[in-house]
Amino acid sequence: MTTRAVAAGDTLQLRYALRPRGGDDLVSNFDDPEPETVTLGDGTLAPMLEQWLIDVHPGERHVFLLDPWQAFGDSQPDLIQTLPKSDLPADIKLEVDQLVEFAMPNGQTLAGHILEIGDDAVKVDFNHPLAGLCVEFEVEIERIL
């Protein structure tokens, strides 16, 4: 029995990992007890990653080697900002290379990577951690729901 391939809008159970090419996993659920359930188009996965799942059959495992333009794009200089320390949550201990979640006025959160810490201000990069990098997107579709 052949199973159909993944199509746009499908709900899938999958295992995946994201890493800089040749580097360590930034995200992986291969060791989790259960696969992650994702509906294509719901925003769980970046649209640039979702497109690589189309036409993959359940049971197949692939490693996609993506250039920056195929994954998270190039690093945008205007997404590196210097913020007054007073804008940061008072209860966190700031460290360089730390990823911090910032609450936006609309209620959503945005992750920022701390580049520098000054006396009164902090330099934060709001680009995706894999922006500007060649990426390995490893995926195994367990089933289409």
Phi and psi at 87, nearest 5°, equal -80, -10
Given a cut of 90, is residue 13 above it in pLDDT? Answer: yes
Distance CA 72, CA 62 (A): 19
- The full set of domain ranges for the chain reads 11-73+130-144, 77-125
- pLDDT band of residue 12 (cuts 50, 70, 90) is very high
Q: Which residues pair with 13 in a beta bridge?
A: 37, 143
pLDDT score, position 10: 96
Q: Does the pLDDT of residue 35 top 80, yes or no?
A: yes
Fold adopted by 77-125:
Thrombin, subunit H (2.40.10)
Question: Is residue 139 scored above 90 in pLDDT?
Answer: yes
Could you give the CA distance from residue 38 to residue 33 in angstroms, rounded to a whole number? 16
User: Is pLDDT above 80 for 14?
Assistant: yes
Residue 140 in this model has a pLDDT that exceeds 90: yes
Span 96-118, pLDDT tens digits: 988 888 777 787 788 889 999 99
Tokens of residue 114, six digits = 């701390």
- Report how far Cα 72 is from the mean position of its chain's Cα atoms: 8
Per-residue pLDDT tens over the stretch 38-96:
999 998 888 889 999 999 999 999 999 999 999 999 999 999 999 998 877 777 788 89
Nearest in space to 53 (alpha carbons), one of 14, 19, 103:
14
Residue 20: pLDDT band (50, 70, 90) is very high
Same fold for the pair 11-73+130-144 and 77-125? no
Which phi and psi (to 5°) does residue 142 adopt?
-80, -45
CB 55 within 8 A of CB 5: yes
- For residues 131 and 74, give the distance between their C-alpha atoms in angstroms, rounded to a whole number: 5
Query: What is the C-alpha to C-alpha distance for residues 52 and 70, in angstroms, rounded to an integer?
Result: 10
Pick the CATH number of 11-73+130-144 from 2.40.110.10, 2.30.30.830, 3.90.280.10, 3.10.50.40: 3.10.50.40
138 or 105: whose pLDDT is higher?
Answer: 138
